[in-house]
Amino acid sequence: MKNATEGLVRAAFGRHYEVELLDGPQLGQTITGFPRGKKSPYACGDRVALEIASADQAQITRHLPRTSLLYRSDAYREKLIAANATQVVLVVATEPSFTDDLLARTLVAAEVEGLRTLIVLNKCDLSAQLEHARERLAVLAKLGYRIIELSALSDASALLPHLAGETSVLVGQSGMGKSTLTNALIPEAQAATREISEALDSGKHTTTHARLYDLPHATAPGGRLIDCPGLQEFGLSHLSFGQIEEGFVDFRPHSGNCRFRDCRHQNEPDCAIKAAVESGAIDARRYEQFQRIVSANC
Ligand SMILES: Nc1nc2c(ncn2[C@@H]2O[C@H](COP(=O)(O)OP(=O)(O)O)[C@@H](O)[C@H]2O)c(=O)[nH]1
Ligand SMILES: [Mg+2]
Ligand SMILES: [Zn+2]
C-alpha cells in the first residue's frame, strides 16, 4: 500500500530532488524524491505530491499549484530556476564585471512573472570599480529598481529588512557572491558548503544546484532564500514580443501609443517608443537592450 503525502523541494539536482515532508509520520524529515519518467519538471521551492517508497525515497507524482515559476529557455528547452518565489534578488559585483544583458533579461523574466526585484551590488569593499559599477546601475536606479550596496564578506545585514516574509531567489553570474551572501545570512548554509567542499577535497565552492534555506526567525521572520548556480545567459525564448515589452517597465507608459498596433518600434512612422527615446523619456541604452532581446527571439 503506497503512502501518499506532500513535500517541499529543498534542493533540485536535475534527476532527483531533496524533499522535505510536510505531513505524515515522517513530517519534517528529508527524503530523496524521483520524478516519474525521464523528465524532471520540478524546481527548487515546488510543493509536490509524493508516494513514499521507502524510509528515504519517494516518487514525485506531480507538483501542486505554483504561485510563480522563474525559468529561462533557449530554442530547445526550459531550465527551471525556482518555484513559488516572491522576489528575485539580482546579485552583481564590482569585480568581476557583470553583463548588462543578463541583468536586463533577468529583470524582464521577473517582471513578466510578477515577482518583486531587488539588485544587490556586492563587493563594495573592492573600491576601484565601485564608481563604474554604480554608473552602470544608475539607469536602473532611475527606473525605481531598489539597489543595495554591501560587502557580503564583511556584512550582509543591509539585505535583511528586504527578506522578511519573502521567498527570495538569488540570481546572477557565477562569482558575484550569491553563496557568500547565503552563508552570511544563514548559519546552516555555511556548514553545508564546508562539508561538501571537504568531501570533494577541493577549495572551490561552485554552486552546482539550487537550494532553499529558511532565514533565521530573529533576523528575517518568514523569509526564505534560494541559492542558485551561476548563470551565463538568461534565455527568454518563451516570451512573446508583447511580454518582453511588458518586462521593460520604462516602456509601459508609452506602449500602445504607436500608430500601428503591431509596431516593432524600429522604423515605423509615429512610433511612441522611438519618440520617447528621442525625448529622453526612455534611455537609449534600454531601447538598444530591448531590440537585442527581441531580435534574439526571432
Ligand atoms: N572582496 C570581496 N570578495 C567577495 C565578497 N563576496 C564574495 N566574495 C568572493 O567572491 C568569490 C565568489 O563568491 P561566491 O559566493 O562563491 O559567488 P557565487 O558564484 O555568486 O555564489 C569568492 O571567492 C568570495 O570569497 C565581498 O563582499 N568582497
Ligand atoms: Mg554560488
Ligand atoms: Zn512603436
Q: In this predicted model, what pLDDT tens digit does every residue of 29-84 receive, in sequence order?
A: 999 999 998 888 999 999 999 999 999 999 999 999 999 999 999 888 899 999 99
Distance 178 CA to ligand 2 centre (A): 5
Looking from the CA of residue 150, the nearest atom of ligand 1 is 27
Q: How far apart are CA 106 and CA 127, in angstroms?
A: 26
Percent pLDDT > 70 in the chain is 94
Longest dimension (CA), the chain: 69
Distance 201 CA to ligand 2 centre (A): 17
| The overall pTM is greater than 0.85 | yes
Alpha helices in 74-149 (DSSP H): 100-112, 130-142
What does DSSP say about strands 69-73 and 30-35: parallel, antiparallel, or unpaired?
A: unpaired
Mutation to probe ligand 1, out of 148, 149, 180, 186 (largest number of atoms < 8 A from CB)? 180
pLDDT digits (tens, 9 = 90+) for 78-112: 999 999 999 999 999 999 999 999 999 999 999 99
Tell me, using a 6 A CB cutoff, whether residue 211 lines ligand 1: no
DSSP letters, 217-268, are TTTSTT-EEEE----S---BTT--HHHHHHH-TTTTTTTT-SSSTT--SSS-
Distance 169 CA to ligand 1 centre (A): 17
End-to-end alpha carbon distance in the chain: 51
For helices 100-112 and 284-296, the axis angle rounded to 10 degrees is 80
Q: How far apart are CA 83 and CA 80, in angstroms?
A: 8
Residues 211, 213, 215, CA angle at the centre, nearest 5°? Answer: 155
